[in-house]
Structure 1
Amino acid sequence: MPEIVFKGKEYVYNHHLTVPYRPLLVDVAKGIGPADLGSNLIIHGDNLHALKSLLPRYAGQVDLVFIDPPYNTGNEGWCYSDGVNSPIMKEWLSTNPVDGEDMLRHDKWLCMMWPRLVLLRELLSERGSIWITLDDNEVHHARDILDEIFGADNFVATCIWQKNFSPKNTAQFFSEDHDYVLIYAKDKQLWRPNLLERTQEMDDRFTNTDNDPRGPWTSGDLSARNYYSEGTYSITCPSGRVIEGPPPGTYWRVKESKFKEMDADGRIWWGEDGANQPRLKRYLTDVKQGRTPQTLWFYNEVGHTQDAKKTLLEMGVLKDQESTITPKPVALIERILELASEPDSLILDSFAGSGTTAHAVLKANAKDGGRRRFILVEGEDYADK
């Protein structure tokens, strides 16, 4: 498998091993509820040290990791300060904000992410998954290091989140209206996403015009293009009309004896007058009790960036809409929880920022009576506020 090469990789490859274990100290004055490490946690400090300190208690216990790391756009001013001991690394690493003029900023981003992703993988359970939001600045690099750390076979999908509801007319080339959500499983052979709830529109497609005791149904085509050796025979409709065979280039989906058996059981629909081409009745009770998730996520379903800022404005975290903070909408994290968590899951967000993940976890628990727990790690002062 190809390996990604970046400046400093040899020095950060095993950097997580040299990071010391630090005790997690409960601040009783700021906490709510039991003063222990078994409930919801907000850890204030460097997330690399926090992840290492979580290992003794939580290795292999986390069901879902969601992170929203620096996008490395060149306008964020994030700092690289991992304290790697190599003198060569210290020659070019700086604790000054990384910006667009820094020719090594992509290497520094990779150096920052590598040990954190290694530790996040160790914290994941065997049936766990990691979800990462990014844009075009680093998504291609992220795929490379995730392939190397998690294994390319454990890549699940890249979802497209429509983050803007209107085009940015000030864009020089294109209005960038989407971000990515990368999904990797700890072990794709064991992990599966949950189904989304069926919509009322989906259920409304099923009716019961003939009072079938099996309940609401919809009809499906009896013919298909796939070759079937027993799929060419004539059919006589209840009205007496004879259909010589399936439409040209197609075959009946079932053999003649099976068709007659289904018709006798009331599983064939001939239309109101009994003269239409027969169709198979598909019952609501037989369909998958949920929606298979898709990779296109539209803002009207999972929110957009203005939704996220509006929430923080209402909470008093932001003072105005012009703030450069880029939080994710609660609905986006709720969608991820719906797909990747169970009612008793442990969720970890090591780039927690303003705490949207905790907000979404609490909403999910309120919705289904779950006991999900969260662990947030943040280096800013949101927790104090």
Structure 2
Amino acid sequence: MPFLDWVNKNHAKDTAREVPYHLLKREATYGDEASAADNLLIQGDNLLALKALLPFYAGRVKCIFIDPPYNTQSAFEHYDDRLEHSQWLSMMYPRLVLLRDLLAEDGSIWITIDDNEAHYLKVLMDEVFGRANFLCGIAWEKRYSPPPDTKDFGYVHDLILVYRKGKAFVRKLLPSTDDQTGRYKNPDSDARGSWKAMDYTCRFSADERPNLYYPIRQPNTGEEIWPKKTRVWAMSREVHLKNEAEGRIWWGTKGSNSVPALKNFLSEVAQGMMPMSLWKHSLAGHNQDGKKEALALFGDTPFSTPKPERLLSVILHIATEPGDLVLDSFLGSGTTAAVAHKMGRRYIGIEMGEHARTHCIPRLEKVIAGEQGGISEAVGWQGGGGFSFLTLSEPAFDEDGRLNAAVKFPTLAAYVWHVETGSPGQQAFDSPFLGMHEGKAYFLLYNGILGDRRPAGGNVLTSAILAHLRELCPVQVPFVVYGETARLGPARMEAEGVTFKQIPYDVTMR
């Protein structure tokens, strides 16, 4: 597979691994506290925030939507969208790597972009997510009329690149439209209900598909008819006879000599619409919708091209179920979080600018209060729920590798668990015994978890502490123990099957 190369690519590849791990600080809770625990709005650099989320959310995010800077060489109020090409690629690469690590095995990522970087982004995504996991390049009609400054071509669409994490991803059908169901009629009063006529032939020649070239009887005239040699019947003789016996063939009104058609009953087809690669504004809205929604919410338009709520609702219909976790690390004015909230999805939104406070928080407060803009009427939104507002705190480790004293036991426990297992920490982490993974038991002695800071209290591995750990995990498996120091000799630990790792020196980035 070909790879994209640019200046400082090696540094960009190292960045995701070397970016420091920061703490997240909960600043405030809005709305219902129980719901607020599942919905996070984070203000801060999204690279740092994504790294901070890994110990808790790696492999748990069902759908990622991002609308990154397009690198259009144009000035934007809230973003510098004039990055030199290699800088743009270096900005995107480590973020895509961290987003991939957060994505669930049955998850998908959707990225809006335009032609300035779309084809480079496609190659970059092939490298990070695997070319086999590319699903579609969707053309979304963002304008319904030509732009007024058109010189050569009227650019009226954006691209949406869609990738899955792996083969476990299954896309959902979109709700059927009146236009689709209106095509089904019942001119012969069939007891099975409305149906639509489907072509009874297919594009193969008699030489290519001789088994599909045979005569059938026209019931209105009694004559035998044959398909064209260049376009044979669409099913075998056996299947045709079955269709005939079940009354699934339409020959037109009585006495006519029309060709056959297959009845496709509405009651037997999937109740939904297959997602297509072209999204008209009638399906997914357009930028003008997004601007009107922003004006209604804020009295201004915080971004030049805010995405409409309908666009996000279509994506979430296809990629998620209620209760799934959605992430947007370029949250902008908060559209993704607002739509996820209204559709009953959990969400994490990350936004660097001050408008995380001036726009995103007020918007989500209005959603909780039951605002009726965007998709509210379509989904029956009446308000409720909650979210938490977090900021990035200090790094967990200083430049010399010393652990920040502000790090609490549950935070370090989740981090150690992720470093060792690659899995997110979802357990309570209220005991030195963190859990079992692939035949090993993991323990953390930190912050006086067993009572106090004396050796007998829990931060130092002694014979008494080891005996207590055996009580917490009586299974005879190898132990991995993190602590300040150990007072057991190497021979004793080898005999006991214990691997000791010292805090902070052995607490390393995964």
Q: TM-score range with shorter-chain normalisation?
A: 0.7 to 0.9
> Residues 282, 381 of structure 1: CA spacing in aligned structure 2 closer, same or farther, 3 A cutoff?
same
> Residues 224, 116 of structure 1: CA spacing in aligned structure 2 closer, same or farther, 3 A cutoff?
closer
> Residues 254, 37 of structure 1: CA spacing in aligned structure 2 closer, same or farther, 3 A cutoff?
closer
- The structural deviation recorded for 1:205 is 2.0
Q: Distance in 2 between matches of 1:39 and 1:317?
A: 29
Tell me, yes or no, if the aligned pair for 1:237 and 1:274 is still in contact at 8 Å.
no
1:381 aligns with 2:354: yes
Tell me, yes or no, if the aligned pair for 2:200 and 2:260 is still in contact at 8 Å.
yes
- The structural deviation recorded for 1:49 is 0.7
3-state DSSP class of the match of 2:121? helix
In the alignment, which residue of structure 2 is the partner of 1:176? 155
Q: How does 1:127-166 map to 2 (within 5 A)?
A: 127-166=106-145
In the alignment, which residue of structure 1 is the partner of 2:53? 54
In the alignment, which residue of structure 1 is the partner of 2:218? 237
Deviations 1:144-178 (A, max 9, x none): 21111111111111111111122123233322211
> Residues 140, 262 of structure 1: CA spacing in aligned structure 2 closer, same or farther, 3 A cutoff?
closer
Tell me, yes or no, if the aligned pair for 2:63 and 2:109 is still in contact at 8 Å.
yes
In the alignment, which residue of structure 2 is the partner of 1:296? 278
Tell me, yes or no, if the aligned pair for 1:62 and 1:123 is still in contact at 8 Å.
yes
Task: Structure 2: state its 5+ residue gaps.
Answer: 359-510
Residue number among 264, 277, 287 corresponding to 2:245 in the alignment: 264
Q: Distance in 2 between matches of 1:374 and 1:206?
A: 39
Greater Cα radius of gyration, structure 1 or 2: 2
- The structural deviation recorded for 1:36 is 8.7
In the alignment, which residue of structure 2 is the partner of 1:285? 267
Tell me, yes or no, if the aligned pair for 1:66 and 1:348 is still in contact at 8 Å.
yes
Deviation larger for 8-17 or 236-245 = 236-245
In the alignment, which residue of structure 1 is the partner of 2:227? 246
3-state DSSP class of the match of 1:214? coil
Deviations 1:67-107 (A, max 9, x none): 0111111223699xxxxxxxxxxxxxxxxx8565x7xx111
In the alignment, which residue of structure 2 is the partner of 1:83? none
1:360 aligns with 2:339: yes
Tell me, yes or no, if the aligned pair for 1:70 and 1:76 is still in contact at 8 Å.
no
3-state DSSP class of the match of 1:224? coil
> Residues 184, 253 of structure 1: CA spacing in aligned structure 2 closer, same or farther, 3 A cutoff?
closer
Q: How does 1:1-385 map to 2 (within 5 A)?
A: 1-28=1-28, 31-34=30-33, 38-76=37-75, 100=82, 105-187=84-166, 189-226=167-204, 227=206, 228-256=209-237, 258-276=239-257, 277-316=259-298, 318=300, 325-365=304-344, 372-385=345-358
Q: Distance in 1 between matches of 2:260 and 2:150?
A: 54
Q: Distance in 2 between matches of 1:211 and 1:327?
A: 49
Tell me, yes or no, if the aligned pair for 2:186 and 2:195 is still in contact at 8 Å.
yes
Tell me, yes or no, if the aligned pair for 2:74 and 2:81 is still in contact at 8 Å.
yes
TM-score, length of structure 2 as denominator length: 0.65
In the alignment, which residue of structure 2 is the partner of 1:92? none
Percentage identity across paired residues of the two chains: 41
3-state DSSP class of the match of 1:142? helix
Q: Distance in 1 between matches of 2:81 and 2:102?
A: 31
Opposite residue 15 of structure 1, the aligned amino acid is: T
Residue correspondences, number: 354
Tell me, yes or no, if the aligned pair for 2:140 and 2:157 is still in contact at 8 Å.
yes
Q: Distance in 2 between matches of 1:197 and 1:117?
A: 31
Deviations 1:116-139 (A, max 9, x none): 111000000001111111112211
3-state DSSP class of the match of 1:251? coil
Q: Distance in 1 between matches of 2:7 and 2:74?
A: 22
Tell me, yes or no, if the aligned pair for 2:183 and 2:196 is still in contact at 8 Å.
yes
Opposite residue 253 of structure 1, the aligned amino acid is: A
Q: Distance in 2 between matches of 1:202 and 1:75?
A: 41
Tell me, yes or no, if the aligned pair for 2:212 and 2:232 is still in contact at 8 Å.
yes
Tell me, yes or no, if the aligned pair for 1:234 and 1:242 is still in contact at 8 Å.
no
Q: Distance in 1 between matches of 2:315 and 2:81?
A: 30
